[in-house]
Structure formats: C-alpha cells, structure tokens
Amino acid sequence: MSIRDEDPTALDRDDPAAEITSRATAYRNWGRWGEDDVLGTLNFIDDAARARAASLVESGRVVSLAQRFDTDGPQKGWRRRTNPVHTMTDTGTDAERGSQGFPHGLGGADDVIAMPLQCSTQWDGLGHIFDHGRAWNGRRAGDVVTSDGDLVTGIEHAAGVIVGRGVLLDLGRHLEPGSGELADGYAITAADIEACIAAQGESSRVGRGDIVLIRTGQYARTRREGWGDYAGGAAPGLSLTTAGWLHRSEIAAIATDTWGFEVRPNEFDAPAFQPLHQVVIPNMGLTIGEMWNLDELAEACLERRSWEFFLSAPPLPITGAVGSPINPVAVL
C-alpha cells in the first residue's frame, strides 16, 4: 500500500468495507509462524529480547499500570459488560462472633469476585475479534471459539510470554503540551507516532518485539471529570491508517489508556464498528490492550527523560478465555 493509505483524509468515508479489506489483505500475517500458531505477533518477543529489557532496570521503582477493579468503574452494561462485583464470603465480624467453626480462636476472611474479563485494564486475546467469519491465522471462527471457550488461541497461551521492553509514547503530551490530553475523536496518525518518537528521543525508538503503550490523556480526564462516556463513547485513539505502521514496526503488542484502542467515532460516515480491531487482531495477529492507567508512568518517564522500561504484563491463564484482566507493571 502507498503512503497515501496512511493519510486519514484519503479514506473513503462512505466505504469502510473496502478500506478494511485492503488493509486486512495487505497486512495479513497468516502462516507467518506456521499453521498451528497461537501467539501471532507475540512471537516477536524472544528470550534475548527479555534479557535486553531486564537490563533497562535502574532504580527498581515499580509503577502499576492498572485501573481499579471495583464497582466504581466505567462499564455501563454494553454487551453485558458490567463493573466487578466483589463479595465477602467470610469477614472479621464472623470471626469475632466465633461463627466460622475454626478451633483455638482462629478466624479469617475470604472473598469472591464476579466480572467480565474485559471490564477494566485488560488484553484482547486473538480469539476476541473475527473478520468475515475467520479468526487469527485464517481459521474458521466457529472452530476456534465455541460455548466451551477459545479452543485454539485461548489467552492462557500468552501467560508466560508478555514480558519485555515497554515503550511509552505520550501522544497526549506531545500533541497537546498544555493539557497533555487529546480531544475525544482525535485520530492518531502514523505521522503523529513518528513525530512523538522523534520528540521523545532515542529511548522511544520502537522495534521488533517491543510492547508499545499509547497515552492519549483521556483516562486522566475521567479522573478529573468522571467516567462520562469513557466506555464506548467518543475517544481519541489510533486511526485505521496506522495499520501499516503497526505491521512494519513488528511490535509484539500495543495498549492505550482508552476503552477501545482506536479513535471513536470511527472514521466513516457509513456504519462502521472498530475497523482497526478487525484488521489487526484476526489478520495481523496483534495483541492489544485497553483501559491502561499510564499517567504515573508518563510523569516518571518525563522525569527520567527516558521512555523505555522493563514491562511485565502477563494475562491470567484462564483456559479458553478471549481476554484477560491484568495488573501490568513497569519496572524503572
């Protein structure tokens, strides 16, 4: 595809199907790692890459990149996505009253949580999105995900994989230095990404096997103004036209501080829904993360004048899941 295909103004806003199909075909990685592959671009992270990433640790400071998991979350019930429900099954009150049945004064507390796997900080697995009935690597969607879960590319396969070099690209601060926050509906372009890398310097260089974090500043705005329509509403995010950059950079994974990773509303006048998801997950095999909390990390990177770090972000090994909640941590 040509450089014109990375210009959002060149999109045919009345024909999302054609724009999606052209990119899905051009950037398709089916067969690249063999017909049995279950990891997609996570294959770019190897042991040598992890060892190099570990060498980035200087002070040992750890920054959690997770939002909260509680009832005061952003979810509104769309497609049965709710906020976590946390219930205590044993409490200190029970212990005080001696009603737990333990001997010699022992007491304890226990709890349970019920939540969709994608209600807060999370990874989208490769079985999360399909393209015309096809899952990652060209498999039939119905052969991959059934009522028993993802039988092929379940998130458990990535449990020992997503550890490596993280790179924060603070697009919010780069494009809006006054507020540090992109406006809802702003479509981040490949040119924006490259300019941010150049402005931040050598530590922001992005290459094979890296895990890229895009801060838009929208999450910071919700902390100040309330959730509003954070879950599913208008948001800054990646343009469909960044698909080529995502492919040629050979990154292993990418995450943002927004609900849906890509710009919303999507960039079409005709009906469209998450077109970049449709290109990068089932066709490119790219693992994407959403609803990450990147604000403390952004401040730390600015203070250090370095935007690279050791990142550990493994999913829970939930057998057959198409997504997973996580508590990613950057070690500086």
pLDDT at 46: 97
Residue type (1 letter), 59 = S
For 137, the 3-state DSSP assignment is helix
CA distance 271 to 34: 35
Helix H or strand E segment including 190: helix 190-200
CA pair distance 324, 266, nearest whole angstrom: 25
Helix, strand, or coil (residue 309): strand
Looking up tokens 């952003």 gives: 74
Q: How far is the C-alpha of 214 from the C-alpha of 41, rounded, in Å? A: 18
CATH number for the domain whose boundaries are 3-77+117-331: 3.50.30.50
User: Distance (Å, rounded) from C-alpha 71 to C-alpha 112?
Assistant: 14
How is residue 42 written in tokens? 């996570």
Residues 96 and 90: their CA atoms lie apart, in Å, by 11
* pLDDT in the model for residue 134: 98
The pTM (predicted TM-score) of the whole model is: 0.96
102 class by beta-carbon count within 10 Å (0-12 exposed, 13-18 middle, 19+ buried) = exposed
Q: What residues contact 52, with CB distance under 8 A and at least 6 apart?
A: 165
User: DSSP labels for 38-100?
Assistant: --GGGGG--HHHHHHHHTT-SS--EEE-B---SSSSS---GGG----EEEEEE-HHHHHTT-S
What is the full DSSP assignment across 87-105? Answer: EEEE-HHHHHTT-S--STT
Helices and strands (H, E) in the chain, number of each type: 10, 15
Measure the CA angle with vertex 63, ends 58 and 69; round to 5°: 160
Helices 295-304 and 218-225 pack at an angle, to 10 degrees, of: 120
DSSP class of 240:
G
Q: How far apart are CA 238 and CA 258, in angstroms?
A: 10
| Whole-angstrom distance, CA of residue 34 vs CA of residue 22 | 23
Nearest CA to 188 out of 129, 267, 123 is that of 267
| Closest of 63, 128, 2, 113 to residue 332, by C-alpha | 63
247, HSE (Cβ side, Cα atoms, 13 Å): 22
Residues of the chain with pLDDT under 50: none
What stretch of H or E contains 174?
A: helix 171-175
Report the alpha-carbon distance of residue 292 to residue 253 in Å, rounded: 13
Domain layout of the chain by residue ranges: 3-77+117-331, 82-114
